[in-house]
Chain A
Amino acid sequence: MLKSKTFLKKTRSGRVLKVVREHYLRDDIWCGSELCVECRQESPPPPVLQRDACRESSLCASRHYIIPDTNVVLHQIDILEDPLINNVIILQTVLQEVRHRSAPIYKRIKDVIHNASKHFYTFTNEHHRETFIEREQGESANDRNDRAIRTAARWYSEHLKKAPDGEELQVILLTDDKGNREKAEGCGVIAYKCEEYIKSLIGSPELMDRLALCTDDANEITSSKILFPEHLPLSRIQAGIKSGTFLQGVFRASRDNYLEATVFVQGDGDDGTEILIQGLQNLNRAVHQDLVAVELLPRNLWVTPSSVVLVDEGPKGDEDGDGDEEEQKMLKCDASESMLKPTGKIVGIIKRNWRPFCGMLSRSEIKEATRHLFTPADRRIPRIRIETRQASALMGQRIMVAIDGWPKSSRYPNGHFVRSLGSAGDKETETEVLLLEHDVPHQPFSQAVLSFLPKMPWAIAEEKHDHFLRHICIELVDPPGCTDIDDALHCRDLGNGNLEVGVHIADVSHFIRPGNTLDQEAASRGTTVYLCEKRIDMVPELLSSNLCSLRCNVDRLAFSCIWEMNHNAEIISTRFTKSVINSKASLTYAEAQLRIDDTNMNDDVTRSLRGLNALAKILKKRRIDKGALTLSSPEVRFHMDSETHDPIDLQAKELKETNSLVEEFMLLANISVAQKIYDEFSECALLRKHPAPPPSNYDILSKAAKAKGLVIRTDSAKALADSLDMAQVEGFSYFNTLLRILGTRCMMQAVYFCSGMDSDFHHYGLASPIYTHFTSPIRRYADIIVHRLLAVAIGADCTYSDLMDKHKQAALCNNLNYRHKMAQYAQRASVAFHTQLFFKSRGIQNEDGYILFVRKNAIIVLIPKFGLEGTVFFENKEKRGPRLLFDEEIPGVSMSPPEMEPEAKRVKLI
């Protein structure tokens, strides 16, 4: 039999479309029961529903089948999955509704149906001649479906009555909707509330615990439920900010916990306050780095930052928030009044700061679905729902996705696929990902930029340069394999008992003229980024590896800083000049060290090296006496396979004396230049400062030391340096390094700033009152600006307006600071990736590790040999860990041996 339906529809583009639907009805659909003889076909499949479907229930003593309605399936899927519940009829109507409403539950119910021992039968009631009903005039789709379910239930009970010994077999409709239940009873169908029925089951009280609470009969089906509060319009936000009810700040999601974030509100000057935001509702669709408006919550609702690590695990509840609620509960921890932080909620977004994100596709569980979730590589970014028809092709690939919007009814933001970066795990792909994720501009230089390069072959125009230092013996000391050599040193005896020491820096500002595209590109890149196997240049290669690289035995333009010093390394006079140099020797750190140590060598180069070395030692001692800090970071260096570029070994970085030789003179040059440009341009000198950290930053350090009974004094840099030197533990030599690593984390970031915008110039780490960067203009843009300032100061170049504008300089400094930070993160990420590659070929290894921090449900472990840091959860889904005690005050004391920080523990790495 055929029902056909014809209707006219107007499309969005205005065309009128005639739609004809044909619905075929059959009379040979099997009811699936073992009892039934009537609708058996020839060669039937084994019956699904059993003859003796017995569950002892006080409500219904006889054998019975269950028909749940849509809401029961949606809410009580846990119950239906229980092995006790069997012989259930799932109607097609119900299945379709479930599929539309929740993909994960659909998947679960499908799994149950496929499980033969559960005896779940899908009855295609929509195609059965006797159970199909048409929607009546004025009837809503929901009501029609409810009626279809009732009709099918009635048909079943009547149908089974006809079967031999079918009289006592009952069909029970389970529905939580009161109206539906009454109507069902009206037409002779036995209907119960789900809760009522489960309660009546004898001998299975544990099922009650699984019963989802749903309070009620009036459980309306709303297909689009509102998950988030509305954002306020911009006009109200602005008014609120003006009146002080709202605060404006940058949203920073937490890396460890997706339900927590802070908003950094910039105060006057440098200081700012952080407002804690907790819970999905309060986070209200803000994404990391957005500019948001926050409203502070009343004081009694303030909370403390939780110390659990939570990762959004996504599609278990696609649309619903059940899992989230549970996790939100986990956040709550009672804490003393003193630890409460100002807490707020997001009321509106002032400016979105979305960029395309890299990550992986997590495919939807339904095969033919086109909407899938995307998991970004950055854990601070929420999952994104995208629509794509090529999910199967994109699986296992790193892809880029852009966010389009985040409607208030959606748990996740909506986005679209931008492009595929390549297959995951591939070295090139992963490098691309980490460059993109750290916002490192790495496109090849555009035509416009390259057009400003000097034409090759290039030679120095002799007449323009007055100062030649070609006759002086100049040597370069650089790491092996380095092609962008930007510094050279010389030292000679002046004959009057004093020494002349010169630091020569490549004159990049000669090639990069202010304001042109090349200059703009370099300014936006800010720094060269060094990855394990790759270098992302700030300036095109012609400059970085050729014209501005002070190679030996060729003429190169340089900017020189020349001191006259006595043998006590006291500066008698300083001068700066642009020059032409011709270097005589290019040595690696190790070669230089060999020459200094070899007493047989007495040529010019070696003598000059020895002179420099002697002075450097004095300079270093003086610096340390003043309170310069020596901190440590767990850095490693890879040995790469020259063919495949795979890491074959790795070792911790070590320093040689000559490293510090070069470093000392570079520091000295930087300080001298900083002084000079500040004297000349007190308003617009570009300097570098390192603020002293606030005392609270030292908490982790002093707590860690206390665990071993040591005291770290942090009142001044000098005191800190001394007490770090003193902090030794017998038989645990790494402890000192560990403290220094922690010390590094306490520090503030050193930043560039414009002297006219700030009053505090102090460099805490180097214990210098003034400092700048002058020595690496090939790889840092700040140095180019410093070069220009210095050139103007000595009359070697002319100035231009942007150079003297302190606001423009401050803006530039912000970009440079940002780029430096990102470059550093990218570098670390690259090391981490190569470490992983290294381990991939090694398999499981056992190595000693140290616990750095302890969280409520995890510890952060450092493995010094590989410079690897990772989070180890105490418990995972499969196995529960031992009961733990967590004490906020002394981080890290828990588990059976009460003292375990920083105790060496065996950690298995996979």
Chain B
Amino acid sequence: MKETPLSNCERQFLLKAIEEKKRLDGRQTYDYRNIKITFGTDYGCCIVDIGKTRVLAQVSCELVAPKDSRPTEGILFFNLELSSMASPAFESNRQSELLVKLNRLLERCLRNSKCIDTESLCVVAGEKVWQIRVDIHVLNHDGNIMDAASIAAITALSHFRRPDVGIQGEEVTVYALEERDPIPLSVYHMPICVSFSFFQQGTYLLVDPCEREERVMDGLLVIAMNNVKITWNNQSGAFLNVQKTQSNAFHVR
């Protein structure tokens, strides 16, 4: 089903409200909606609510052959899905621009920041490594899927346990969860995304846009950062993903 277009009237109303520093749900410019994190019964299952946006992340693992270029490293795989359950505008099994963008951002935020140690996921170099798969389902869409997805993914990864592996000689045993306590992933740091949206050529800026606001925004800035100064990537703590910015400069206050 196609997205219901926003009427001009509504659009102008929203923009006018933003100009007056008012938001539909009564928030201030820099107010974030309440975040609720709940865990499922399984290891690596996590649901994150930001306002009415709701995202579920489930981590699973399996033994696969490693990539040729990195024989001693495990594989981290992210898969975000937008089903029509979240919004009638989303269509399952279709690569939309938004979907590609979200998946790409998630990878940059969680894989490229090296927050999960993939080297310890190696079982036999060049033959068997753990593939950690993070499936993220958007259950309800009320804006800011990216923030919710990044929080859900990193919490689920921290909550996840993989089966223990024993190596004796050239024999490898994978122990069932009852036989041996499963092992948590080593999480070096926790990058979390915060989204800012721009309106009126970058004159106004809101944190954590809701769905309506996202529809009238000009641009979006996603900053992923972690809590501590960790020397990954020779950067000092944060990395920027700037998207679709206007030609005007924007200010992060």
Contacts and interface: CB of A to CB of B under 8 A. Distances in A.
Contacts of B6: none
Contacts of A354: 167-170
Contacts of B125: 387, 404-405, 414-416
12 contacts: A290-B169, A351-B169, A352-B169, A352-B170, A354-B168, A355-B169, A387-B125, A388-B72, A390-B119, A404-B124, A417-B120, A446-B179
A13 interface: yes
Contacts of B167: 354-356, 402
Nearest to B120: A419
A416 B119 contact: yes
A417 B177 CA distance: 23
A447 interface: yes
B186 interface: yes
A351 B168 CA distance: 10
Contact of A420 (B120, B164, B168): B120
A-B interface, 8 closest residue pairs, ranked by CB to CB distance from nearest = A404-B125, A416-B72, A448-B178, A352-B169, A416-B125, A419-B120, A416-B122, A417-B119
B211 interface: no
Given A415-B125, A417-B120, A443-B180, A353 B72 contact: no
Given A404-B125, A415-B125, A447 B169 contact: no
A13 B68 contact: yes
B72 A386 contact: yes
Contacts of A402: 124, 167
B119 A444 contact: no
A360 B124 CA distance: 20
Contacts of A416: 72, 119, 122, 125
Contacts of B168: 353-355
Given A402-B124, A404-B124, 9 more contacts: A13-B68, A290-B169, A353-B168, A354-B170, A355-B169, A386-B72, A387-B72, A388-B72, A416-B119
Nearest to A439: B168
A447 B179 CA distance: 7
Contacts of B120: 417-420
A439 to B, nearest CB: 10
A389 interface: yes
Most chain B CB atoms below 10 A, which of A12, A290, A387, A404 = A404
Interface in A367-410: 386-390, 392, 402, 404-405
A385 to B, nearest CB: 11
Interface residues of A, number: 30
B181 A444 contact: yes
Interface in B147-175: 164, 167-170
Contacts of B180: 443, 446
Nearest to B72: A416
B202 interface: no
A719 B71 CA distance: 63
A562 B16 CA distance: 96
Nearest to B124: A404
Contacts of A448: 178-179
A354 B72 CA distance: 17
A452 to B, nearest CB: 12
Contacts of B164: 443
A13 B66 CA distance: 12
Given A13-B68, A352-B170, A356-B167, A418 B122 contact: yes
A13 B167 CA distance: 29
A365 B231 CA distance: 20
B214 interface: no
B51 interface: no
Nearest to B119: A417
B126 interface: yes
Interface in B55-87: 68, 71-72
A389 B120 CA distance: 12
Contact of A404 (B126, B181, B186): B126
Contacts of A388: 72, 119
B117 interface: yes
B97 to A, nearest CB: 25
Contacts of B177: 447
Interface residues of B, number: 22
A290 B170 CA distance: 11
Interface of B: 68, 71-72, 117, 119-120, 122, 124-126, 164, 167-170, 177-181, 186, 231
A414 B124 CA distance: 11
Interface in A500-528: none
B19 to A, nearest CB: 48
Contact of A353 (B119, B169, B179): B169
Contacts of B179: 446, 448
Nearest to B179: A446
B115 to A, nearest CB: 12
Nearest to A405: B125
A393 to B, nearest CB: 8
Given A388-B119, A389-B119, A420 B186 contact: yes
A419 B122 CA distance: 10
Nearest to B164: A443
Nearest to A352: B169
Nearest to A388: B119
Contacts of A390: 117, 119
B119 to A, nearest CB: 5
Interface string A431-449: 0000000000001101110
A446 B178 contact: yes
B164 to A, nearest CB: 8
Nearest to B127: A404
Contacts of A352: 169-170
Nearest to A419: B120
Contacts of B72: 386-388, 416-417
B95 to A, nearest CB: 21
Given A354-B170, A415-B125, A420-B186, A446 B119 contact: no
Nearest to A351: B169
Given A355-B167, A415-B125, A418-B122, A446 B181 contact: yes
A402 B120 CA distance: 10
Given A12-B68, A388-B72, A443-B181, A419 B124 contact: no
Contacts of A405: 125
Contacts of A389: 119
Interface in A680-708: none
Contacts of A353: 168-169
A464 B125 CA distance: 57
A144 B245 CA distance: 51
Interface in A264-300: 290
Interface string A164-175: 000000000000
A354 B120 CA distance: 18
A396 to B, nearest CB: 14
Contacts of B186: 419-420
A402 B119 CA distance: 12
Contacts of A417: 72, 119-120, 122
Nearest to B170: A352
Nearest to B183: A419
A326 B170 CA distance: 34
Contacts of A386: 72
Contacts of B170: 351-352, 354
Contacts of B122: 416-418
A443 B125 CA distance: 25
B75 to A, nearest CB: 14
Which of B125, B126, B167, B177: most chain A CB closer than 10 A? B125
A388 B167 CA distance: 20
Contacts of A13: 68
Nearest to A417: B119
A680 to B, nearest CB: 36
Nearest to A354: B169
For A12, A405, A418, the residue with the greatest tally of chain B CB atoms inside 10 Å of its CB is A418
A420 B178 CA distance: 24
A392 to B, nearest CB: 8
Contacts of A446: 178-181
